[in-house]
Structure 1
Amino acid sequence: MISRKMAGGILLGFLAVAGIVTGSQGSVTVYAAEELQGSGTAEDPYVITGSEDLWKFAEIVKASSDRNECAKVADGVTEIDTTVRGEKKDLTWNPIGDSSGSYKGVFDGNGAEITIHADRSINNNAGLFGILGSGGEIRNVTTAGSSKGWDSVGGICGQACSDAKIVNCNNKADITAQGGQAGGLAGYASSAQIESDTSISNTGAVTGTANVGGLVGQASGGMKVIVHEGILNSGAITAKSSGY
């Protein structure tokens, strides 16, 4: 015979496996890594099929101590709008990787356009990714929408540091830095590499008080740019001093 207490424990265990944990305040949905296809390694990256998956991936990375999880947008997915998640709309995106831990994995957008509304007006490091750290790599993504912050604001990432790579990426998002370091791809890049098999383009307006550019707002530490067909900028650049 199973006691009421034991039965409750069994039920709680079942709910935990299902991704739902109950407490005195009701139920809380937990986005477990198992909900995404793949294991998050470079050989078997998480598969992103839409906005919900991308939000889950961001939550998984934020909860990770290493922040080196890898993901790839699924074949055939051409657009992802992070301002919509289920029935929720007009959402503000939380950049992946921040001052508490930079992103060190590989994210492959597989040619998709990702719309964000990143608004960190009183904080730094705004973009699809906040800080891209050592070993971190963003590939095959076009960002759209808007990205706002104080310093280090870009479409792809706020900062790219320590041998990080941005490969085959473009930006359509409007970029605004209340302070400085605003760029179409990255607000600030140090010892990082930006490369493309073809060309790199920025069509979003980029605005800041200093260190503003269509590609990168401010570069240091031997940043490398390797592009086979040139860099194209048609977005308005507004600043007191220019970037690169």
Structure 2
Amino acid sequence: MRRELKKIFFIRKKDSTQTFRLAMLLCIVGGFLDAYTFTTRGKVLANAQTGNLVYLALNLAERDYQKVFSYFVPIFVFALGILFSEYLKHVFTKYENFRWQHTAIIIQLIVMFFISFIPSNHLNMLVNVIISFIAALQYQGFKKIHGVNGATTMCTGNLRSSMEFLSQFIMTRDKKSFYNFLVYIGLISFFVIGATLCAVLVHFFKNYALLFCCVLQFIVFLVMFKQKI
């Protein structure tokens, strides 16, 4: 167990976008953003579009079309964010030392900084739309973590995959499966930590709590310039 944890945290990767320590920071940001928009911006989820679809369907059944619209727009803009990230990926293919993810992180950092100064109940829909867009950039930019394809900074897929690898380990005693299981559980844990931190910081600092994510994103940006961590 100790050996597997050491491999996850301390083995270096040539591509810094795949390191677990970078993913740890991004998962904290992902959990923080979901909790932030839910607690301060009208109970809309920035990352979890599945949840937004459920809320959309419930309000559609109740014929509350205003709320239906408030959930539809973030979903639509999240999809546009995925398309934009693919465009950035295409544009930056000719650059070796500056990845397209750098641009995505810069966009997120700047946007979150200015959003933190917008009071709750003021432009909530616009704020949710913008955060959904930058959440899509993060989701698309970090799809392979520590050599594990499909590991992301969101939880639903990670939870499914963690149980798949745990099942494989129980049946085959394959150490690689156990290693992958720990990677996924780690990502889920740091997502929860991010959401918890948001609840605590919002209690004390209100909307300014989002500045904490700006600090994390700045660290991510610096880390990504290193080929190895």
TM-score by length of 2: 0.22
Larger radius of gyration: 1
Which structure has the highest strand share of the two? 1
Which structure has the highest helix share of the two? 2
